[in-house]
Amino acid sequence: MNLNIPFLDLIIIVGYIILIVFAGLYYSRNMRNSSKGYFLAGKSLNWAMIGAALFASNISTIHLVGLTASGFNEGLAWGNFEWMATFTLILLGLVFAPFYFKTKISTLPEFLEKRYSASSRAFLAFLGIIGALFMHIGLSLYAGAVVFQQFFGIDIITSIVTISLITTIYTVIGGLKAVVITETIQTPILILGAIVVTILAIYALPEVGIHSWADLKGATKPRQLSMIHLDDRDGLAWYAVLLGYPVLGVWYWCTDQTIVQRVLGARSLYDAQTGPLFAGLLKILPVILMVFPGVLAYVLFKDQIGDNANQALPVLITELVPTGLMGLIAAGLLAALMSTISAALHSTATLVSLDIVQKIKPEIKEKTQIRIGRISAVVVMLLSIAWSSQGDRFESIFEAVQSIAACLAPPITTIFLLGVFWKRGTKEASLITLIYGFISGMVIFCLDLPIIGDERIFSDVLGIAPLMQAWWGFVACTVVFILASLLTPKPDPALLQGLTWDDPKEIFKSGFKGFTSPINLSIALFVLMVLLYFIIG
């Protein structure tokens, strides 16, 4: 290992690590001994904490490295994954959060049990653990290791083990309160670090003859500064984004335990609804602070970066960031990495303890339940470390995330969306759809990895990119769900009370009074996003 960390930067990094571990353990000290305190932060989270935590748990090193790499390769069109998230966060706040809060669930699989059956609950818990292991933790570890190897000379294995150990300590001991407190601290650090890199890259443009927007546009690839693409050469055509992203977005933002657990810990319905809207507002930033720097990296250092787009962010940092500030950037990268890993670790502990162990042994004691959750988090972390070594199989890390999501999302999005809007959906249909979607998704993932050879069957041979894979998977799962529902007995209407929208207009029954009502905030956020697309698209 060729360690190359200036002393000042090392002090900043070590100080940040100590701060995060201390804050997580200190502020969670009163909530570690009860299941409600450990898994749901004692239902004490306000809207600001929920929004910041949603943003921080989402923006991992995958985003910092992957979005910069994608901006380097294709451009701003990858920002659609960030801006479209705002629309699905509005759905979370208006459509799903009221159900989750009023039914007093502790996990998303628990909601499925109320709506469908215990079998659907168990299967969704299994899928949630798979998603956390392969995507949230495994790929995040790889992304972080790549960065720290590039500009600090720390080898990948050492980075992975060190970061895993630190994050596991405060997550396993402190529970959800520790996770959310640290995420609230990490969000401004993460944003500040991204701002610094972006500003330094902009100030470097005159050195390569870029003095205006026209100069910048002339130095980039065709369409690299466009959010909306008309054709599907890169899998990001407008119709692919419009059809495919909502499938991924509803799954990720509205039904994934790793993300939605913050909403389940809300202190009130208002906080549960407005927290996601605050996160939606924050999701405007990554296009400017993460994707756009990738475009600047292409203009400034395309010869140095070459074909390895994952090096775009590390090269920006090593070439532009001075000593001292590099420590701040490293702290931001650690913030992104640790927040996502801690969120996923805690969600797996929750899923194992509440949706699997407690269902098998209902009389289990709270202390035993918490201990099992902690042990399962450690096991998942070890498995994630093993999987993280496969990150170099993908062209970019962000592409890897989309490939995994496109395989997991369709059946889950189907049963949640149709479950809350269609009373005829049955418990048999839910389980059949989950099983069908999981098997078909894993087949597609294996054919596109690829395990054998270098050719991706669906993406390269058939020309079906991940977004359209998600869309067609959703269509197929919807057909399976509807047919299975019509062929099985109707559910008892009495058992569906409070679990479905009798009339979609009920979504707006909270009213428009007061500017800060969830409805008015949602409308304002929706209009803002439409304007941004109109201006930049």
For 210-221, letters b (16+ CB in 10 Å) and e give beeeeebeebbe
What are the CA-CA distances from residue 84 to residues 79, 287, 375 (Å)? 8, 11, 36
CA distance 97 to 474: 22
pLDDT for 4 equals 57
Tokens describing residue 537:
């698209």
pLDDT of residue 23: 65
Task: For residue 308, give the DSSP letter.
Answer: -
H-state helical runs in 283-365: 285-286, 292-305, 312-320, 325-350, 358-360
pLDDT confidence of residue 1: 43
Per-residue pLDDT of the chain in tens (537 residues, 90 and over written 9): 444 567 777 787 777 777 766 765 665 555 445 444 444 555 667 888 888 878 877 776 667 777 888 888 888 888 888 999 999 999 998 888 888 888 777 778 888 888 898 888 888 888 888 877 777 777 777 777 776 676 566 766 777 777 777 666 656 565 555 556 666 666 677 778 788 889 999 999 998 888 888 888 888 888 888 888 777 666 788 888 899 999 999 998 988 877 787 788 788 888 888 999 999 999 998 888 889 999 999 999 888 888 778 788 888 888 888 877 777 777 767 666 666 677 677 777 777 777 777 777 777 776 777 777 778 777 877 777 777 666 566 666 667 777 788 888 999 999 999 988 888 889 999 999 999 999 998 888 777 765 555 666 766 667 778 888 899 999 999 999 999 999 999 988 888 887 787 766 666 665 556 677 888 888 999 999 999 988 876
**Spatial separation of the C-alpha atoms in residues 526 and 281, rounded to whole Å:** 10
Q: How far is CA 139 from CA 56, 166, 340, 381, in A?
A: 16, 17, 11, 12
Q: How far apart are CA 490 and CA 227, in angstroms?
A: 45
Residue of 334, 369, 242, 228 whose CA lies nearest to 287: 228
Report pLDDT for 452.
Answer: 58
Parse the chain into domains and list their residue ranges: 45-391
pLDDT of amino acid 39: 47
Task: Please give the Cα distance from 269 to 285 (Å, whole number).
Answer: 26
pLDDT at site 526: 94
pLDDT at 34: 47
CATH number of 45-391: 1.20.1730.10
Give the pLDDT of residue 392: 60
- Distance from C-alpha of 51 to C-alpha of 270, rounded to nearest angstrom: 12
State residue 483's pLDDT score.
96
Q: Which of 271, 318, 277, 13 lies closest to 162 in space, CA to CA?
A: 13
